[in-house]
Amino acid sequence: MDSLEKELFGSDTESLDSRSDHGHDRHRHIHEDDLDIDDLADSDMEHENSDPLFQSIMESTDDNDTSYMPLAKDSPPQHTPHPHIPGLCLHTNVLSHEDQSRLMQSIIAKNFFKGGEQNQAMCFGQRDLAWLDWFESLLKDSGTLSEPFCRGDWTRREPLFDQSIMNLYHPGDGIKPHVDLARFEDGIIIVSLLNAITMDFYPALRTMTATDPVDGGANPYTQTSATNRAPAHSVRLEPGSIITLQGPARYEWEHGIQETTRDLVRDEWINRKIRVSITLRKMRPQAWEIGPTAAQNGVADRT
């Protein structure tokens, strides 16, 4: 990484420890009955106390974690276009502690990860994404979807998203480098929750365009990207941050997460902790003819 990129994307802040007091009230979308992550331990919602995932989330928080640098209470969101990957923008400090708690609470309540037995879950269709409705206004209010960070019409489309993937990462887990399938429109966002991780970017082995056939066959990236390649760029995804991918970043670059238990961040090895991500996309209209079941084939390889 060059120094500008390091400055913008290498970060030595780490692990938004969910027990730390970094909550702030920038976003007013939170219902009164929202619980803080800390409060989840005392709650008697259906899955929470007995849910192994919930337990490991609680255990992954570490009061003695000195590597964590809390965000200032009123820090505004920051939007930083990547200097070398057109269409990639990193939006930090978008989700407050409460916002993250609210998303995690829904994920746990919906038992998407089957108590930690599976590490990926998908939703298809607007109705299945109703639990995320409030999040759309947060995206807009925080400026995340605004020009010049996001360009073009996709930020005004209706619905904004109709497909999501939730991914759960334990230390050592990763996702193979891939370009998201042609069945999804341009304009993709990835939300990071709980703890930080490093995402790598590689020039795509096979680039894609917005007009490629929606059923572009099996994902070529899961096979061809298995070879070891050094990433061209790496981006530190802090909890509460979002990346937006559009244009070249969406079609001409692969993104992936290495299977490792620690990341090198500004010359310092940082141990990974449990992380959850939400990827939000919109299916191309013709893609519904393939059907959600087929659409699940060829998603990026999880490990």
Question: Do the Cβ atoms of 169 and 257 come closer than 8 Å?
Answer: yes
Nearer to ligand AKG, 23 or 104 (CB): 104
Shortest Cβ distance from residue 66 to ligand AKG (Å)? 26
Nearer to ligand AKG, 41 or 121 (CB): 121
How is residue 70 written in tokens?
């809390």
Shortest Cβ distance from residue 282 to ligand AKG (Å)? 14
Nearer to ligand AKG, 145 or 237 (CB): 237
How is residue 186 written in tokens?
């341009």
Pairing of strands 120-124, 268-271: unpaired
Contacts of 27 (CB under 8 A, 6+ apart): 95, 96, 98, 99, 138, 141, 142
Q: At what angle do helices 97-109 and 133-141 cross, to 10 degrees?
A: 160
Figure out which of the listed residues 190, 194, 204, 283 binds ligand AKG, where binding follows CB under 6 A: 190
Report the C-alpha gap between 82 and 89 in whole angstroms: 6
How is residue 126 written in tokens?
């607007």
Nearer to ligand AKG, 35 or 122 (CB): 122
Shortest Cβ distance from residue 180 to ligand AKG (Å)? 6
Q: Within 13 Å and on the Cβ side, how many CA atoms surround 6?
A: 8
Shortest Cβ distance from residue 192 to ligand AKG (Å)? 6
SS3 letters across 233-267: EEEEECCCCEEEECCHHHHCEEEEECCCCEEEECC
Nearer to ligand AKG, 40 or 235 (CB): 235
Nearer to ligand AKG, 23 or 174 (CB): 174
Cα 169 from chain centre: 11
Figure out which of the listed residues 180, 185, 186, 238 binds ligand AKG, where binding follows CB under 6 A: 180
Q: How many CB atoms lie within 10 A of CB 153?
A: 8
Figure out which of the listed residues 138, 175, 194, 274 binds ligand AKG, where binding follows CB under 6 A: 175
Report the C-alpha gap between 237 and 299 in whole angstroms: 21
Shortest Cβ distance from residue 21 to ligand AKG (Å)? 26
Shortest Cβ distance from residue 281 to ligand AKG (Å)? 9
Closest-approach residue to ligand AKG (CB): 277
Q: Does 225 interact with ligand AKG (rule: CB under 6 A)?
A: no
Total binding residues for ligand AKG by CB under 6 A?
10
Figure out which of the listed residues 104, 138, 165, 265 binds ligand AKG, where binding follows CB under 6 A: 165
Contacts of 199 (CB under 8 A, 6+ apart): 190, 234, 235, 236, 237, 243, 255, 256, 257
Nearer to ligand AKG, 95 or 300 (CB): 300
Site string (233-272) toward ligand AKG, x via CB under 6 A: ----------------------x-----------------
Question: Do the Cβ atoms of 34 and 43 come closer than 8 Å?
Answer: no
Nearer to ligand AKG, 150 or 276 (CB): 276
> For the chain, what's the residue count?
303
Report the C-alpha gap between 211 and 183 in whole angstroms: 10
Residue numbers 269-288 binding ligand AKG by CB under 6 A:
277, 279
- Rule CB under 6 A: which residues touch ligand AKG? 165, 167, 175, 180, 190, 199, 255, 277, 279, 300
